[in-house]
Chains A and B, each alone.
Chain A
């Protein structure tokens, strides 16, 4: 039912967007470069190579004798995508996404809709005192569970935005979003922009977001909590050689309010576990109740990260992108994330192959086992993602042109395929030492 719902949603949105020749949705589309062949640069030669945007034309394509589309004739671009995520911790997510962008002169508007249908019988669900029990009627699934803990839910997310770009190195974007599911609601707004300086060899970037969240529980109608978050970002990018560009970015986030899970509990003592035939995981030899206590997190968390990136053009249509990110937060979680990807972009097809490594330390209040009495701890959690973690990610993308534009007013239609494999280990976490995940996605995009 959820699969049908997600597929129907993506199909409807894709058909609606394709009726106006949609395409992809870069945050701020750069101006289309003109091949002047002159040593005297024109305004169009100041390409926004540092704004992280994909150019709107393929530089490997031959010059067209047709005139460029006027602003009123720029087609609507967009994309429709459908993907499936599955992991070894018995969690499956079907994701549908559709976007559409319309551009006029210096302005653009965009809209995105996402549907995520989740089904999970993970360790978190099976150890949950409420979700893990048999014959529990869950509001999220609307049915009784007879298999010892399985939850399902559907999340709907909508985003609208507007952008301004003067094609002379200044851009500004405003976005708002709203998301809802059975036990969570979120609204968010953000402003980000960029400006070129120093003869457009340096780009300054920045952004700010605010998010408000409402948290409830499908099993406890009296639980109503809030969480606020603000995010900020600043960065600088520069072309350093004809084939190299670098970017340095600082990100920050402040979260204030309820950040735990209303379904997870923490057991105390040197406990042991038993998995019942129904799938539920029960605890023995605990200090206090075998059901444990609800998680208790600090109310405030400040997170910061520094990311350095480098892109190098190996040849026309071939590039390599490397990055390293270091993060720290007030809960004591430190992480390091290096990554590298190889890209090939030809006239009728594109490919990307990437690898990413991740390592994090545990939160200062996290323990694999809280062996003392609960009164000895101020904060406690059973979230494995707050413990030590090491991750490897491999990704592969390929896209091919299905339909070339016939005139300057048409969009190019592309078919793409995307896959990722994640491997995480959680040293010291008894209930789940490791987890393997895969995400596969396919879709169509209309680009101009």
Chain B
């Protein structure tokens, strides 16, 4: 876990809040359409053995589809 900190903090410059305007754009979000992404992931969970929903996005109910 400490390596995660090192990767994210090492060599990074401080970006003032007023400079983050472009990152507030829908096109610059990690998920521009969270619902579509989660629905795609629900299909991929059935098609791929190694794909499972991250607990960061809430519940992941199973189904008998497999």
Q: Which chain A residues lie closer than 8 Å to B8 at the CB level?
A: 202, 236-238, 240, 246, 248
Say whether, besides A190-B55, A201-B15, A360-B48, A54 and B29 are in contact (CB < 8 Å): yes
Question: How long is the Cα–Cα vector from A209 to B4 in the complex, in angstroms?
Answer: 22
A234-245 contact mask (Cβ, 8 Å, vs B): 1 or 0 = 111111111111
User: Which of A14-22, A305-313, A405-413 is the interface stretch?
Assistant: A305-313
Contact A211 B59 (CB under 8 A): yes
Chain B's closest residue to A40 (CB) is B18
Instruction: Write the A218-250 contact mask toward B (1 if CB under 8 angstroms, else 0).
Output: 000000000101011111111111111111111
Decide if A175 touches B58 in the complex (CB within 8 Å): yes
Number of A-B contacts (CB under 8 A): 287
B55–A192 contact, CB under 8 A? yes
Nearest chain-B residue to A352 (Cβ)?
B32
The contact of A179 among B1, B31, B34, B62, by CB within 8 Å, is B62
Known: A233-B55, A245-B23, A246-B8. A177 touches B61 (CB 8 A): yes
Query: Do B26 and A188 touch across chains, with their CB atoms under 8 A apart?
Result: no
* A-chain residues with CB within 8 Å of residue B46 when the two chains form the complex: 385
Q: Which residues of B contact A190 (CB under 8 A)?
A: 55, 58-60
Interface residue? A85 (CB, 8 A): yes
What mask results when residues 56 to 69 of chain A are scored 1 for a CB within 8 Å of chain B, else 0?
A: 00111000000000
CB closest residue in chain B, given A200: B17
| Residues of A contacting B18 in the complex (Cβ-Cβ under 8 angstroms) | 38-39, 41, 45
Within the assembled complex, what's the spacing in Å between the Cα atoms of A245 and B27?
Answer: 12
Is the pair B35, A79 in contact by a Cβ cutoff of 8 Å?
A: yes
* A interface size (C-beta, 8 A): 134
Q: Which residue of B lies closest to A242 (CB)?
A: B19
Within 8 A of A (CB), among B11-33: 12-33
* Least CB separation from A234: chain B residue: B1
- Decide if A367 is an interface residue (CB 8 Å cutoff): no
Contact indicator A192/B58 (Cβ below 8 Å): yes
- Chain B residues lying within 8 Å of A39, measured Cβ to Cβ, are 18
Chain B residues, CB < 8 A from A246: 8
Given A97-B39, A157-B61: A352 and B15 interface contact (C-beta under 8 Å):
no
Contact in complex: B23, A239 (CB < 8 Å): yes
- Assess the B62–A211 pair: CB atoms within 8 A: yes
Set of chain A residues within 8 Å of B30, measured between Cβ atoms: 50, 52, 237, 245, 247, 309, 311, 321
Q: Which residues of chain A have a CB within 8 Å of any CB of chain B?
A: 24-27, 33, 38-39, 41, 45-47, 49-50, 52-55, 58-60, 79, 81, 83, 85, 95, 97, 99, 116, 118, 153, 155, 157, 159, 161, 173, 175-179, 181-184, 186-190, 192, 198-202, 205-209, 211, 213, 215, 227, 229, 231-251, 253, 261, 303, 305, 307, 309, 311-313, 315-319, 321, 327-329, 331, 333-335, 337, 343-345, 350, 352, 358, 360, 363, 383, 385-386, 389, 391, 393, 395, 397, 399, 416, 418, 420, 422, 424, 437, 439, 441
Q: List 28 A-B contacts (CB under 8 A).
A: A24-B33, A45-B17, A54-B34, A55-B24, A55-B26, A95-B39, A182-B64, A186-B62, A189-B59, A192-B56, A207-B55, A235-B4, A237-B30, A248-B7, A249-B56, A250-B1, A250-B4, A313-B23, A316-B25, A319-B25, A327-B51, A333-B49, A343-B32, A358-B48, A418-B33, A418-B36, A422-B43, A424-B47
Beyond A245-B30, A249-B54, A437-B47, 15 extra complex contacts between A and B, CB < 8 Å:
A26-B34, A50-B30, A53-B34, A179-B62, A187-B61, A231-B53, A237-B8, A239-B23, A242-B21, A242-B23, A251-B54, A307-B54, A335-B51, A358-B44, A391-B47
